[in-house]
Chains A and B, each alone.
Chain A
Amino acid sequence: MNSYWLGVSTLAGIYLIATLGISILTGFTGLFSLGHAGFMCIGAYASAVATKMLGVPFYIGLIFSIIASVIVGYFVGYATLRLRGDYFVITTFALGEIVKLVIENMVTITGGAKGMPDVKPGTTFQVVLILDIIVILLLVNFLKSKYGRNCIAIREEEMAAKIIGIDVMKYKMTALLISCALCGLAGGLLAHYMHYLHPNMFNMAKSNELIVMVILGGQGSLTGTTVATIALVFLPELLRIGAAQEWRMFAYGVLVVLIIVLKPSGLFGNRELNLKGIVSPFKKLSSKTQGGK
């Protein structure tokens, strides 16, 4: 594989970690966030600053990313998860903006609006691939467990979940912290992949892109999120319309509206890719041909 497509694949893998986090938050727990690029931003700058100023190695920098995002996420969650969903949306939206503004203002540490060059390299395709696999395995386990079921229950009907005794706040917070950790990790990986950081890399458009990938893939399906993320990272490269950001964002916006209005369950709905799903159509086919004798 030549290095260009390797690069695109690495990028897709990085975004995949972030969108899987968003998938847990929005797709499986029903919390809609319009500012999660802010957590990517926190993670990115945390790792970049740590590796630059404290001289820590790349992997420790990533740990910084995760911790920083989780801490901020905890405060946001504490403030807003007790309240109605709308407040959470507005707050995450505000958070995305605040993070950008704060980073822009901390000029001495982060370079502010001039950007931060010379971030240590460290992200390679292999690293991203391994992390992707680990994350997917962890999340599949999470979803199959009690945690996953409770999150889905909260998404479907929060009042009923409360009534049967689910500690809604705890599970919402868990989902939020997972998504923050993963977005932070993705941000850190991005920083060490791009070797350059600028607050505008994590603006509202980026948050929107993350959301689109989850909605398109289907709320409630990790497979859907994976497919959609890979598609939406590769497609602009294949079609070479990545240069016209406005056209791409316009298309994203229209796509989101179309999906929500026409097929809110997205591409995969809540179906996952599994062995049974692949084998059973064949079984059905063979039984039909036998029965139709």
Chain B
Amino acid sequence: MLVQQIITGLSVGGIYALMAVGYSLIYSLLNFTNFAHGLAVTAGAYIGFFVLSRMSNLFIALIMGIIVGGLVSSLIETIAYRPMLNKNAKRIYLIIAGAGVSTAGENLIIILFTGRFKAYPNVSGLEPIKILGATIGKVDIIMLIACIITLILVEVLLQKTKIGLAIRGAAFDLDVTSIMGVNVKQLILFVFMLAGSLAGLSGYFLGMKYTAYPMLGQMTNKAFISAVLGGLGSIQGAVVGSFLLGISETLISAYISSSMRDIFSFSILIVVLIFRPNGIMGKNVEDKA
């Protein structure tokens, strides 16, 4: 039973990790919380539903989820954030705009697709299997493996490619990176697209696990908590925080009570902020006075 909970927790954590990495990337670069991140997740979930309603190919639905997530995120950046980034507006305005986009988007989805839960049509070959005496859904294992592969790919992108170098540089100091000759505007768009793709993928998995519904974007709150837990500003931290949160959430839900699960997660956030605001692996960067 414990093994089952841990594997479930890991798979949930993997999904959180996909969202948290995207969120953390944007935060590292631009220093603001992208509240519209949830929209890319929801978009991925709904696209997965629509594709799977028409054809039974899981893989195509997955790819479409990724693409649509990236598109939605890039669109949000272009319409809502870029005008203000160009004017070098205060970060709080970006946050407010993000919250506005999130509200508008969620309600638009309700208007267009009704608030009903859209369950993914039955896809074959996903019965539970037995490992070590615990019954684990094949879906969970596949999701976990896919998340791990994706996270490794992202890490490789960041560490070994030229654009990864640019991202790391921009995360350290945006202005200096632009002085060094990097087209920062394009880079920001790329990062939003990357974050959105990850969000779309996680949306696809969430849709598969929980059905697609307009408020799915609220799952990104868990991503925020994971990123804070792991340390804002650190991509690896976001991953660590996500898995930790996923596992502990699942354990609390199983052994104490499922209604305490969300209270627990949000309380973790407050506890972390009181006692260790930098999280587990965060770097404390302050303006020099």
- A: residues with CB less than 8 A from B are 30, 32, 34, 76, 78-80, 82-83, 85-87, 89-91, 93-95, 97-98, 101-102, 104-105, 159, 162-163, 205, 208, 211-212, 215, 246-247, 249-250, 252-257, 260-261, 264
Could you show 25 A-B contacts with beta carbons less than 8 Å apart?
A: A32-B92, A32-B95, A80-B273, A82-B277, A86-B33, A89-B95, A93-B221, A94-B269, A95-B270, A97-B266, A98-B263, A101-B266, A105-B259, A208-B103, A211-B96, A212-B100, A215-B96, A247-B107, A250-B104, A253-B106, A253-B107, A254-B104, A256-B97, A261-B83, A261-B84
Nearest B residue to A207 by beta-carbon distance?
B99
A91 with B270, Cβ < 8 A, contacts A30-B92, A257-B100, A264-B93 known: yes
User: Which residues of chain B are near A250, meaning CB under 8 Å?
Assistant: 103-104, 107-108, 111
Interface segment among B46-54, B56-64, B130-138, B224-232: the answer is B224-232
Cβ of B185 < 8 Å from any Cβ of A?
no
Given contacts A90-B228, A159-B287, 15 further A-B contacts (CB under 8 A): A32-B92, A32-B96, A78-B274, A85-B92, A86-B95, A89-B95, A104-B259, A211-B96, A246-B107, A250-B104, A250-B108, A257-B79, A257-B80, A260-B97, A264-B89
- Number of residues on chain B facing chain A (CB within 8 A): 46
A257, B97: Cβ atoms under 8 Å?
A: yes
Cβ of B101 < 8 Å from any Cβ of A?
yes
Cβ of B196 < 8 Å from any Cβ of A?
no
- B: residues with CB less than 8 A from A are 27, 31-33, 35, 79-80, 83-84, 89, 91-93, 95-97, 99-108, 110-111, 221, 224-225, 228, 232, 259-260, 262-263, 266-267, 269-270, 273-274, 277, 287, 289
A87, B277: Cβ atoms under 8 Å?
A: yes
Q: Which of A87, A105, A260 contacts B93 (CB 8 A)?
A: A260
Nearest A residue to B32 by beta-carbon distance?
A86
